[in-house]
Amino acid sequence: MTDATRDADGLSADDQLLAKLGYKQELSRSWSSFSNFAISFSIISILAGCFTTFGQAWNNGGPVAISWGWPVISVFILIIGFTMSELVSAYPTSGGIYWWAAKMGGPAAGFFTGWLNLIGLLAVTASVAYGAATFLDLTISTVSSSWADGYSLTRVFLLFVAIFVLASLANIFSGHLLAMINNISVWWHVAGAAIVIAVLVLVPTTHQSADFVFTERINNSGYDSGFYWFLVLPLGFLLTQYTITGFDASAHLSEETQGAAEGAAKGIWRSIFYSAIGGYVLLLAFVFAVQDPAAVTEGGGGVDLIFGQALPEGWHFLVLLISTAGQLFCCVACLTSASRMSFAFSRDGAIPGSRWLSQVNPRTKIPAHAVVFVATVGVVITLPALIEVDIAGAPVPVAFYAVTSVAVIGLYLSFLIPIFLRWRMGDAFEPGSWTLGRKYRWMNLLAVAEIAIICVYFVLPFTPAAVPFSDDFSFKFVNYAPVLTLGSLLVLAVWWRLSARHWFTGPKVTIDRDVVEAFDD
Protein backbone atom coordinates (compact mmCIF):
# COMPACT_ATOMS: atom_id res chain seq x y z
CA MET A 1 0.00 0.00 0.00
CA THR A 2 1.58 3.30 -1.06
CA ASP A 3 1.53 6.46 1.01
CA ALA A 4 -0.59 8.14 -1.67
CA THR A 5 -3.48 5.86 -0.84
CA ARG A 6 -3.46 6.92 2.82
CA ASP A 7 -4.94 10.01 4.45
CA ALA A 8 -3.24 12.33 6.90
CA ASP A 9 -4.05 9.99 9.79
CA GLY A 10 -2.34 7.08 8.07
CA LEU A 11 -5.57 5.27 7.15
CA SER A 12 -5.83 3.54 3.79
CA ALA A 13 -8.99 3.84 1.67
CA ASP A 14 -9.99 0.34 2.90
CA ASP A 15 -9.51 1.33 6.55
CA GLN A 16 -11.47 4.54 6.01
CA LEU A 17 -14.43 2.65 4.52
CA LEU A 18 -14.30 0.09 7.34
CA ALA A 19 -14.22 2.91 9.90
CA LYS A 20 -17.21 4.51 8.20
CA LEU A 21 -19.05 1.20 8.67
CA GLY A 22 -18.13 1.29 12.37
CA TYR A 23 -15.14 -1.03 12.75
CA LYS A 24 -11.46 -0.58 13.44
CA GLN A 25 -9.00 -2.66 11.45
CA GLU A 26 -8.24 -5.71 13.64
CA LEU A 27 -7.50 -8.39 11.05
CA SER A 28 -4.44 -8.37 8.83
CA ARG A 29 -5.31 -6.88 5.40
CA SER A 30 -2.83 -9.06 3.53
CA TRP A 31 -5.09 -10.64 0.89
CA SER A 32 -4.98 -9.52 -2.75
CA SER A 33 -8.08 -9.39 -4.95
CA PHE A 34 -6.91 -12.65 -6.54
CA SER A 35 -6.65 -14.29 -3.12
CA ASN A 36 -10.17 -13.12 -2.35
CA PHE A 37 -11.44 -14.70 -5.59
CA ALA A 38 -9.34 -17.78 -4.83
CA ILE A 39 -11.02 -18.59 -1.52
CA SER A 40 -14.52 -18.54 -3.02
CA PHE A 41 -13.32 -20.55 -6.02
CA SER A 42 -11.69 -23.03 -3.63
CA ILE A 43 -14.83 -23.37 -1.51
CA ILE A 44 -17.05 -23.90 -4.55
CA SER A 45 -14.46 -26.49 -5.58
CA ILE A 46 -15.59 -28.44 -8.62
CA LEU A 47 -13.16 -31.13 -7.47
CA ALA A 48 -15.29 -31.50 -4.34
CA GLY A 49 -19.00 -30.99 -5.04
CA CYS A 50 -18.98 -32.49 -8.55
CA PHE A 51 -17.45 -35.66 -7.14
CA THR A 52 -19.14 -36.05 -3.75
CA THR A 53 -22.75 -35.24 -4.73
CA PHE A 54 -22.72 -36.72 -8.23
CA GLY A 55 -24.73 -39.68 -6.94
CA GLN A 56 -27.57 -37.40 -5.83
CA ALA A 57 -28.06 -36.19 -9.41
CA TRP A 58 -27.57 -39.64 -10.96
CA ASN A 59 -30.17 -41.26 -8.69
CA ASN A 60 -32.59 -38.34 -9.01
CA GLY A 61 -32.84 -37.62 -12.70
CA GLY A 62 -29.81 -39.30 -14.22
CA PRO A 63 -27.81 -37.71 -17.06
CA VAL A 64 -30.61 -35.19 -17.71
CA ALA A 65 -30.18 -33.78 -14.18
CA ILE A 66 -26.53 -33.17 -15.01
CA SER A 67 -26.39 -32.16 -18.69
CA TRP A 68 -29.40 -29.83 -18.46
CA GLY A 69 -29.77 -29.22 -14.73
CA TRP A 70 -26.24 -27.91 -14.16
CA PRO A 71 -26.24 -25.05 -16.71
CA VAL A 72 -29.81 -23.95 -15.91
CA ILE A 73 -29.29 -23.83 -12.14
CA SER A 74 -25.85 -22.23 -12.65
CA VAL A 75 -27.43 -19.25 -14.42
CA PHE A 76 -29.76 -18.66 -11.47
CA ILE A 77 -26.86 -18.91 -9.02
CA LEU A 78 -24.83 -16.42 -11.09
CA ILE A 79 -27.71 -13.95 -10.80
CA ILE A 80 -27.70 -14.48 -7.03
CA GLY A 81 -23.96 -13.81 -7.11
CA PHE A 82 -24.41 -10.55 -9.02
CA THR A 83 -26.88 -9.28 -6.41
CA MET A 84 -24.46 -10.14 -3.61
CA SER A 85 -21.52 -8.54 -5.42
CA GLU A 86 -23.40 -5.23 -5.34
CA LEU A 87 -24.01 -5.62 -1.61
CA VAL A 88 -20.42 -6.48 -0.66
CA SER A 89 -19.15 -3.52 -2.67
CA ALA A 90 -21.29 -1.23 -0.53
CA TYR A 91 -20.61 -3.02 2.77
CA PRO A 92 -17.22 -4.85 2.74
CA THR A 93 -17.18 -6.28 6.29
CA SER A 94 -16.36 -9.72 7.73
CA GLY A 95 -19.94 -9.98 8.96
CA GLY A 96 -20.92 -9.87 5.34
CA ILE A 97 -24.39 -11.30 4.85
CA TYR A 98 -25.83 -10.57 8.29
CA TRP A 99 -24.28 -7.08 8.42
CA TRP A 100 -26.05 -6.20 5.17
CA ALA A 101 -29.38 -7.47 6.55
CA ALA A 102 -28.99 -5.54 9.80
CA LYS A 103 -28.03 -2.37 7.94
CA MET A 104 -31.04 -2.54 5.60
CA GLY A 105 -33.65 -4.30 7.74
CA GLY A 106 -32.79 -3.72 11.39
CA PRO A 107 -31.57 -5.93 14.28
CA ALA A 108 -34.13 -8.73 13.80
CA ALA A 109 -33.21 -9.18 10.14
CA GLY A 110 -29.53 -9.20 11.06
CA PHE A 111 -30.03 -11.69 13.88
CA PHE A 112 -31.90 -14.30 11.81
CA THR A 113 -29.72 -13.81 8.74
CA GLY A 114 -26.57 -14.21 10.80
CA TRP A 115 -27.71 -17.43 12.39
CA LEU A 116 -28.89 -18.91 9.10
CA ASN A 117 -25.57 -18.03 7.50
CA LEU A 118 -23.64 -19.48 10.43
CA ILE A 119 -25.66 -22.72 10.37
CA GLY A 120 -25.06 -23.02 6.63
CA LEU A 121 -21.32 -22.38 6.95
CA LEU A 122 -20.95 -24.90 9.78
CA ALA A 123 -22.79 -27.51 7.71
CA VAL A 124 -20.92 -26.87 4.47
CA THR A 125 -17.56 -27.06 6.25
CA ALA A 126 -18.54 -30.38 7.85
CA SER A 127 -19.84 -31.81 4.58
CA VAL A 128 -16.69 -30.87 2.66
CA ALA A 129 -14.46 -32.40 5.33
CA TYR A 130 -16.54 -35.59 5.29
CA GLY A 131 -16.45 -35.77 1.50
CA ALA A 132 -12.67 -35.34 1.58
CA ALA A 133 -12.41 -38.17 4.10
CA THR A 134 -14.51 -40.43 1.88
CA PHE A 135 -12.35 -39.79 -1.17
CA LEU A 136 -9.12 -40.07 0.81
CA ASP A 137 -10.30 -43.49 1.94
CA LEU A 138 -11.13 -44.46 -1.66
CA THR A 139 -7.75 -43.18 -2.89
CA ILE A 140 -5.77 -45.19 -0.35
CA SER A 141 -7.90 -48.29 -0.96
CA THR A 142 -7.15 -48.10 -4.70
CA VAL A 143 -3.41 -48.65 -4.21
CA SER A 144 -3.29 -50.53 -0.90
CA SER A 145 -5.07 -53.85 -0.55
CA SER A 146 -3.92 -53.99 3.07
CA TRP A 147 -5.62 -50.68 3.94
CA ALA A 148 -8.90 -52.34 4.85
CA ASP A 149 -11.44 -54.90 3.70
CA GLY A 150 -14.44 -53.07 2.30
CA TYR A 151 -15.92 -49.69 3.06
CA SER A 152 -16.15 -48.62 6.70
CA LEU A 153 -18.16 -45.65 7.94
CA THR A 154 -16.17 -45.69 11.18
CA ARG A 155 -12.84 -45.53 9.36
CA VAL A 156 -14.05 -42.68 7.16
CA PHE A 157 -15.30 -40.80 10.21
CA LEU A 158 -11.89 -41.07 11.90
CA LEU A 159 -10.26 -39.70 8.74
CA PHE A 160 -12.85 -36.92 8.80
CA VAL A 161 -11.82 -35.92 12.34
CA ALA A 162 -8.12 -36.02 11.40
CA ILE A 163 -8.76 -33.77 8.39
CA PHE A 164 -10.57 -31.27 10.59
CA VAL A 165 -7.62 -31.20 13.01
CA LEU A 166 -5.10 -30.56 10.21
CA ALA A 167 -7.31 -27.92 8.57
CA SER A 168 -7.64 -26.17 11.93
CA LEU A 169 -3.88 -26.07 12.41
CA ALA A 170 -3.43 -24.61 8.91
CA ASN A 171 -6.01 -21.93 9.72
CA ILE A 172 -4.55 -21.01 13.10
CA PHE A 173 -0.93 -20.79 11.96
CA SER A 174 -0.87 -17.76 9.61
CA GLY A 175 -3.17 -15.59 7.52
CA HIS A 176 -0.43 -15.22 4.91
CA LEU A 177 -0.14 -19.01 4.72
CA LEU A 178 -3.90 -19.27 4.16
CA ALA A 179 -3.77 -16.79 1.30
CA MET A 180 -0.91 -18.75 -0.27
CA ILE A 181 -2.78 -22.06 0.14
CA ASN A 182 -5.84 -20.61 -1.60
CA ASN A 183 -3.74 -19.20 -4.45
CA ILE A 184 -2.23 -22.64 -4.99
CA SER A 185 -5.70 -24.15 -4.73
CA VAL A 186 -6.96 -22.17 -7.73
CA TRP A 187 -4.28 -23.55 -10.01
CA TRP A 188 -4.71 -27.05 -8.58
CA HIS A 189 -8.41 -26.91 -9.42
CA VAL A 190 -7.80 -25.58 -12.94
CA ALA A 191 -4.98 -27.96 -13.82
CA GLY A 192 -6.48 -30.89 -11.90
CA ALA A 193 -9.88 -30.60 -13.56
CA ALA A 194 -8.19 -30.34 -16.99
CA ILE A 195 -6.18 -33.50 -16.31
CA VAL A 196 -9.25 -35.43 -15.12
CA ILE A 197 -11.20 -34.36 -18.22
CA ALA A 198 -8.30 -35.36 -20.51
CA VAL A 199 -8.00 -38.76 -18.81
CA LEU A 200 -11.72 -39.47 -19.16
CA VAL A 201 -11.69 -38.39 -22.81
CA LEU A 202 -8.55 -40.26 -23.90
CA VAL A 203 -8.23 -43.37 -21.73
CA PRO A 204 -11.63 -45.18 -21.86
CA THR A 205 -12.03 -47.42 -24.91
CA THR A 206 -15.67 -46.43 -25.44
CA HIS A 207 -17.90 -43.49 -24.57
CA GLN A 208 -21.62 -42.93 -24.26
CA SER A 209 -23.50 -41.20 -27.07
CA ALA A 210 -24.69 -37.60 -26.91
CA ASP A 211 -28.24 -38.96 -26.98
CA PHE A 212 -27.60 -40.82 -23.71
CA VAL A 213 -25.91 -37.85 -22.03
CA PHE A 214 -28.61 -35.32 -22.94
CA THR A 215 -31.82 -37.38 -22.91
CA GLU A 216 -31.40 -40.38 -20.57
CA ARG A 217 -33.57 -40.27 -17.46
CA ILE A 218 -32.93 -42.33 -14.31
CA ASN A 219 -35.14 -42.61 -11.27
CA ASN A 220 -33.33 -44.49 -8.53
CA SER A 221 -35.06 -42.59 -5.74
CA GLY A 222 -37.83 -45.08 -5.04
CA TYR A 223 -40.53 -42.58 -5.96
CA ASP A 224 -43.01 -43.40 -8.73
CA SER A 225 -41.87 -42.29 -12.20
CA GLY A 226 -44.96 -40.08 -12.42
CA PHE A 227 -43.19 -37.75 -9.96
CA TYR A 228 -40.05 -37.53 -12.12
CA TRP A 229 -40.33 -33.92 -13.38
CA PHE A 230 -41.82 -32.30 -10.29
CA LEU A 231 -40.08 -34.16 -7.44
CA VAL A 232 -37.31 -36.55 -8.48
CA LEU A 233 -35.45 -34.30 -10.94
CA PRO A 234 -35.50 -31.20 -8.66
CA LEU A 235 -33.95 -33.30 -5.88
CA GLY A 236 -31.11 -34.01 -8.31
CA PHE A 237 -30.42 -30.27 -8.55
CA LEU A 238 -28.78 -30.53 -5.13
CA LEU A 239 -25.59 -31.39 -7.06
CA THR A 240 -25.42 -27.93 -8.62
CA GLN A 241 -26.89 -25.92 -5.78
CA TYR A 242 -24.52 -27.52 -3.23
CA THR A 243 -21.39 -27.39 -5.40
CA ILE A 244 -21.77 -23.72 -6.32
CA THR A 245 -22.13 -22.35 -2.82
CA GLY A 246 -19.85 -20.78 -0.24
CA PHE A 247 -19.00 -17.88 -2.53
CA ASP A 248 -19.98 -15.55 0.32
CA ALA A 249 -16.43 -16.25 1.55
CA SER A 250 -15.33 -13.26 -0.55
CA ALA A 251 -17.52 -11.12 1.69
CA HIS A 252 -16.34 -12.70 4.93
CA LEU A 253 -12.70 -12.10 3.95
CA SER A 254 -13.29 -8.54 2.77
CA GLU A 255 -11.74 -7.02 5.91
CA GLU A 256 -8.54 -8.86 5.01
CA THR A 257 -8.63 -7.91 1.31
CA GLN A 258 -6.93 -4.91 -0.28
CA GLY A 259 -9.30 -2.86 -2.42
CA ALA A 260 -12.21 -4.86 -0.98
CA ALA A 261 -15.08 -2.78 -2.40
CA GLU A 262 -14.04 -3.84 -5.89
CA GLY A 263 -12.04 -7.02 -5.26
CA ALA A 264 -14.59 -8.81 -3.06
CA ALA A 265 -17.43 -7.96 -5.47
CA LYS A 266 -15.56 -9.44 -8.41
CA GLY A 267 -14.45 -12.37 -6.29
CA ILE A 268 -18.07 -13.47 -5.78
CA TRP A 269 -19.37 -13.43 -9.36
CA ARG A 270 -16.14 -14.55 -11.02
CA SER A 271 -15.81 -17.58 -8.73
CA ILE A 272 -19.35 -18.64 -9.68
CA PHE A 273 -18.88 -18.02 -13.41
CA TYR A 274 -15.60 -19.91 -13.82
CA SER A 275 -16.73 -22.75 -11.55
CA ALA A 276 -19.95 -23.16 -13.54
CA ILE A 277 -18.07 -23.53 -16.82
CA GLY A 278 -15.33 -25.80 -15.47
CA GLY A 279 -17.79 -27.93 -13.50
CA TYR A 280 -20.04 -28.46 -16.51
CA VAL A 281 -17.22 -29.74 -18.72
CA LEU A 282 -16.02 -31.98 -15.88
CA LEU A 283 -19.47 -33.47 -15.27
CA LEU A 284 -20.03 -34.12 -18.98
CA ALA A 285 -16.71 -36.00 -19.01
CA PHE A 286 -18.03 -38.17 -16.15
CA VAL A 287 -21.26 -39.05 -17.94
CA PHE A 288 -19.68 -39.69 -21.35
CA ALA A 289 -17.20 -42.07 -19.66
CA VAL A 290 -19.90 -44.35 -18.18
CA GLN A 291 -19.43 -47.92 -19.42
CA ASP A 292 -22.31 -49.72 -17.69
CA PRO A 293 -25.14 -47.37 -16.61
CA ALA A 294 -27.10 -50.15 -14.89
CA ALA A 295 -24.12 -51.05 -12.69
CA VAL A 296 -23.65 -47.40 -11.69
CA THR A 297 -27.33 -47.20 -10.72
CA GLU A 298 -27.23 -50.48 -8.79
CA GLY A 299 -24.12 -49.31 -6.94
CA GLY A 300 -25.84 -46.15 -5.66
CA GLY A 301 -24.74 -43.69 -8.35
CA GLY A 302 -21.31 -42.83 -6.91
CA VAL A 303 -18.88 -41.29 -9.38
CA ASP A 304 -16.08 -43.66 -8.34
CA LEU A 305 -18.08 -46.49 -9.92
CA ILE A 306 -17.61 -44.73 -13.26
CA PHE A 307 -13.86 -44.42 -12.75
CA GLY A 308 -13.64 -48.09 -11.79
CA GLN A 309 -15.43 -49.07 -15.01
CA ALA A 310 -13.64 -46.75 -17.40
CA LEU A 311 -10.06 -46.52 -16.14
CA PRO A 312 -7.14 -48.86 -15.42
CA GLU A 313 -5.93 -48.86 -11.81
CA GLY A 314 -3.16 -46.28 -12.29
CA TRP A 315 -5.40 -43.71 -13.99
CA HIS A 316 -8.15 -44.44 -11.48
CA PHE A 317 -5.77 -43.60 -8.64
CA LEU A 318 -4.61 -40.38 -10.32
CA VAL A 319 -8.18 -39.08 -10.74
CA LEU A 320 -9.03 -39.84 -7.11
CA LEU A 321 -5.78 -38.25 -5.89
CA ILE A 322 -6.48 -35.02 -7.80
CA SER A 323 -10.02 -34.85 -6.43
CA THR A 324 -8.99 -35.64 -2.86
CA ALA A 325 -6.31 -32.94 -2.81
CA GLY A 326 -8.81 -30.44 -4.21
CA GLN A 327 -11.28 -31.35 -1.47
CA LEU A 328 -8.61 -30.85 1.20
CA PHE A 329 -7.90 -27.37 -0.19
CA CYS A 330 -11.64 -26.74 -0.13
CA CYS A 331 -11.93 -27.85 3.50
CA VAL A 332 -9.22 -25.42 4.62
CA ALA A 333 -10.96 -22.57 2.77
CA CYS A 334 -14.39 -23.44 4.19
CA LEU A 335 -12.99 -23.44 7.72
CA THR A 336 -11.45 -20.01 7.08
CA SER A 337 -14.74 -18.55 5.87
CA ALA A 338 -16.85 -20.07 8.66
CA SER A 339 -14.41 -18.94 11.35
CA ARG A 340 -14.47 -15.34 10.05
CA MET A 341 -18.26 -15.34 10.13
CA SER A 342 -18.18 -16.76 13.68
CA PHE A 343 -15.69 -14.05 14.68
CA ALA A 344 -17.74 -11.23 13.16
CA PHE A 345 -21.06 -12.44 14.59
CA SER A 346 -19.57 -12.95 18.05
CA ARG A 347 -17.89 -9.53 17.82
CA ASP A 348 -21.42 -8.16 17.87
CA GLY A 349 -22.44 -10.39 20.80
CA ALA A 350 -24.86 -12.68 18.96
CA ILE A 351 -23.32 -16.07 19.86
CA PRO A 352 -23.13 -17.59 23.36
CA GLY A 353 -19.50 -17.30 24.47
CA SER A 354 -19.00 -14.28 22.22
CA ARG A 355 -16.21 -12.81 24.33
CA TRP A 356 -14.12 -15.96 23.84
CA LEU A 357 -15.05 -16.47 20.17
CA SER A 358 -14.27 -12.88 19.17
CA GLN A 359 -10.71 -12.93 20.51
CA VAL A 360 -8.01 -12.40 17.89
CA ASN A 361 -4.50 -13.73 18.33
CA PRO A 362 -2.38 -10.55 18.74
CA ARG A 363 0.57 -12.07 16.88
CA THR A 364 -1.09 -13.76 13.89
CA LYS A 365 -4.22 -11.53 13.75
CA ILE A 366 -6.35 -14.69 13.38
CA PRO A 367 -9.51 -15.58 15.37
CA ALA A 368 -8.15 -18.96 16.51
CA HIS A 369 -10.96 -19.65 18.99
CA ALA A 370 -13.52 -19.28 16.20
CA VAL A 371 -11.58 -21.84 14.13
CA VAL A 372 -11.74 -24.38 16.97
CA PHE A 373 -15.46 -23.67 17.45
CA VAL A 374 -16.29 -24.36 13.78
CA ALA A 375 -14.30 -27.60 13.71
CA THR A 376 -15.87 -28.90 16.93
CA VAL A 377 -19.43 -28.18 15.82
CA GLY A 378 -18.70 -29.76 12.43
CA VAL A 379 -17.70 -33.04 14.06
CA VAL A 380 -20.75 -33.08 16.33
CA ILE A 381 -23.37 -32.46 13.63
CA THR A 382 -21.86 -35.18 11.42
CA LEU A 383 -22.03 -37.92 14.08
CA PRO A 384 -25.19 -39.41 12.46
CA ALA A 385 -22.98 -40.37 9.50
CA LEU A 386 -21.79 -43.29 11.64
CA ILE A 387 -25.22 -44.89 11.22
CA GLU A 388 -25.02 -47.43 8.40
CA VAL A 389 -27.78 -47.33 5.80
CA ASP A 390 -27.94 -49.94 3.03
CA ILE A 391 -28.97 -48.59 -0.37
CA ALA A 392 -28.50 -50.82 -3.40
CA GLY A 393 -26.53 -53.20 -1.21
CA ALA A 394 -23.91 -50.62 -0.27
CA PRO A 395 -23.46 -48.76 3.01
CA VAL A 396 -24.21 -45.08 2.37
CA PRO A 397 -24.02 -42.19 4.87
CA VAL A 398 -27.46 -40.72 4.29
CA ALA A 399 -26.53 -38.11 6.90
CA PHE A 400 -24.02 -36.68 4.40
CA TYR A 401 -26.78 -35.67 1.99
CA ALA A 402 -28.77 -34.27 4.91
CA VAL A 403 -25.81 -32.12 5.98
CA THR A 404 -25.36 -30.87 2.40
CA SER A 405 -29.06 -29.94 2.35
CA VAL A 406 -28.68 -28.04 5.62
CA ALA A 407 -25.72 -26.20 4.10
CA VAL A 408 -27.66 -25.20 1.00
CA ILE A 409 -30.81 -24.17 2.88
CA GLY A 410 -28.99 -22.23 5.60
CA LEU A 411 -26.68 -20.38 3.25
CA TYR A 412 -29.19 -19.54 0.55
CA LEU A 413 -31.89 -18.43 3.01
CA SER A 414 -29.33 -16.13 4.58
CA PHE A 415 -28.63 -14.74 1.08
CA LEU A 416 -32.35 -14.29 0.39
CA ILE A 417 -32.99 -11.86 3.26
CA PRO A 418 -30.48 -9.09 2.33
CA ILE A 419 -31.19 -9.56 -1.40
CA PHE A 420 -34.89 -8.93 -0.77
CA LEU A 421 -34.15 -6.03 1.57
CA ARG A 422 -31.93 -4.39 -1.04
CA TRP A 423 -34.76 -4.73 -3.60
CA ARG A 424 -37.18 -3.21 -1.11
CA MET A 425 -34.88 -0.22 -0.51
CA GLY A 426 -34.90 0.63 -4.21
CA ASP A 427 -33.15 3.88 -5.04
CA ALA A 428 -32.56 4.62 -1.34
CA PHE A 429 -29.74 2.05 -1.41
CA GLU A 430 -26.31 3.68 -1.66
CA PRO A 431 -24.19 1.42 -3.91
CA GLY A 432 -20.45 0.98 -3.79
CA SER A 433 -18.05 1.11 -6.73
CA TRP A 434 -19.52 -2.12 -8.22
CA THR A 435 -23.23 -1.81 -8.96
CA LEU A 436 -26.03 -3.47 -10.96
CA GLY A 437 -27.64 -0.17 -11.85
CA ARG A 438 -31.33 -0.54 -12.70
CA LYS A 439 -30.98 -4.28 -13.32
CA TYR A 440 -31.29 -4.90 -9.60
CA ARG A 441 -35.09 -4.65 -9.96
CA TRP A 442 -35.51 -7.97 -11.77
CA MET A 443 -32.31 -9.71 -10.68
CA ASN A 444 -33.08 -9.47 -6.97
CA LEU A 445 -36.65 -10.75 -7.39
CA LEU A 446 -35.51 -13.66 -9.57
CA ALA A 447 -32.83 -14.56 -7.02
CA VAL A 448 -35.36 -14.55 -4.18
CA ALA A 449 -37.80 -16.77 -6.12
CA GLU A 450 -35.13 -19.36 -7.00
CA ILE A 451 -33.88 -19.59 -3.43
CA ALA A 452 -37.40 -20.00 -2.02
CA ILE A 453 -38.18 -22.86 -4.43
CA ILE A 454 -34.99 -24.87 -3.89
CA CYS A 455 -35.27 -24.57 -0.11
CA VAL A 456 -38.71 -26.21 -0.23
CA TYR A 457 -37.39 -29.12 -2.28
CA PHE A 458 -34.34 -29.79 -0.13
CA VAL A 459 -36.34 -30.36 3.05
CA LEU A 460 -38.36 -33.12 1.35
CA PRO A 461 -37.58 -36.82 1.94
CA PHE A 462 -34.99 -38.22 -0.47
CA THR A 463 -36.76 -41.59 -0.61
CA PRO A 464 -40.27 -42.94 0.15
CA ALA A 465 -38.77 -44.87 3.08
CA ALA A 466 -38.16 -41.49 4.75
CA VAL A 467 -41.82 -40.45 4.53
CA PRO A 468 -43.43 -40.69 8.00
CA PHE A 469 -46.24 -43.25 8.39
CA SER A 470 -45.35 -45.03 5.12
CA ASP A 471 -45.10 -48.85 5.18
CA ASP A 472 -41.31 -48.84 4.68
CA PHE A 473 -40.55 -45.88 6.95
CA SER A 474 -37.32 -46.01 8.96
CA PHE A 475 -35.61 -43.21 10.86
CA LYS A 476 -32.24 -44.12 9.36
CA PHE A 477 -33.47 -42.93 5.94
CA VAL A 478 -34.78 -39.60 7.21
CA ASN A 479 -33.48 -36.38 5.70
CA TYR A 480 -32.93 -34.47 8.94
CA ALA A 481 -32.36 -31.18 7.13
CA PRO A 482 -35.85 -29.87 8.03
CA VAL A 483 -35.32 -30.89 11.66
CA LEU A 484 -32.10 -28.87 11.87
CA THR A 485 -33.20 -25.88 9.80
CA LEU A 486 -36.85 -25.51 10.83
CA GLY A 487 -36.03 -26.55 14.40
CA SER A 488 -33.25 -23.98 14.52
CA LEU A 489 -35.57 -21.29 13.18
CA LEU A 490 -38.14 -22.12 15.86
CA VAL A 491 -35.52 -21.95 18.60
CA LEU A 492 -34.20 -18.66 17.21
CA ALA A 493 -37.72 -17.21 17.06
CA VAL A 494 -38.37 -18.10 20.70
CA TRP A 495 -34.92 -16.85 21.74
CA TRP A 496 -35.47 -13.57 19.88
CA ARG A 497 -38.90 -13.04 21.37
CA LEU A 498 -37.97 -13.84 24.95
CA SER A 499 -34.45 -12.48 25.16
CA ALA A 500 -32.34 -11.47 22.17
CA ARG A 501 -34.53 -8.57 21.02
CA HIS A 502 -33.80 -6.82 24.31
CA TRP A 503 -30.02 -6.82 23.92
CA PHE A 504 -29.10 -7.49 20.27
CA THR A 505 -29.03 -4.15 18.50
CA GLY A 506 -27.17 -5.23 15.38
CA PRO A 507 -23.53 -4.59 14.46
CA LYS A 508 -21.62 -2.83 17.21
CA VAL A 509 -19.34 0.11 16.56
CA THR A 510 -15.77 -0.80 17.56
CA ILE A 511 -14.27 2.54 16.62
CA ASP A 512 -14.78 6.00 18.12
CA ARG A 513 -18.13 7.37 16.95
CA ASP A 514 -16.54 10.74 16.27
CA VAL A 515 -14.37 9.01 13.67
CA VAL A 516 -17.41 7.38 12.09
CA GLU A 517 -19.25 10.70 11.93
CA ALA A 518 -16.19 12.40 10.47
CA PHE A 519 -16.09 9.91 7.59
CA ASP A 520 -19.85 10.26 7.10
CA ASP A 521 -19.35 13.99 6.69
> How many separate helices (H) and strands (E) can be counted in the chain?
25, 4
User: Any idea what DSSP says for residue 394?
Assistant: E
Strand partners, 218: 61
pLDDT tens, residue by residue, 459-488: 888 788 888 878 777 776 777 778 778 888
The pLDDT of residue 86 is 96
| CA neighbor of 78 nearest in space, from 335, 277, 329 | 277
Q: 32-457: which CATH number, 1.10.3470.10, 3.20.20.100, 1.20.1740.10, 3.40.50.10140?
A: 1.20.1740.10
For the chain, domain boundaries: 32-457
Give Cα separations from 403 to 59, 61, 97, 225, 481 (angstroms).
18, 21, 21, 26, 7
Type and span of the H or E element at 390: strand 389-391
pLDDT tens, residue by residue, 318-329: 999 999 999 999
Of residues 224 and 69, which shows the higher confidence score?
A: 69
The pLDDT of residue 273 is 97
Whether residue 96 is predicted with pLDDT greater than 80 in this model: the reply is: no
User: Any idea what DSSP says for residue 225?
Assistant: G
Q: What's the CA gap between 387 and 212, in Å, rounded?
A: 35
Q: What's the CA gap between 136 and 155, in Å, rounded?
A: 11
| CA neighbor of 331 nearest in space, from 358, 303, 371 | 371
The pLDDT of residue 399 is 65
Within 10 angstroms of residue 308's Cβ, the number of other Cβ atoms is 17
> What's the pLDDT band for 395 if we cut at 50, 70, 90?
very low
Whether residue 75 is predicted with pLDDT greater than 90 in this model: the reply is: yes
The pLDDT of residue 6 is 47
The predicted model gives 483-495 an average pLDDT of 87
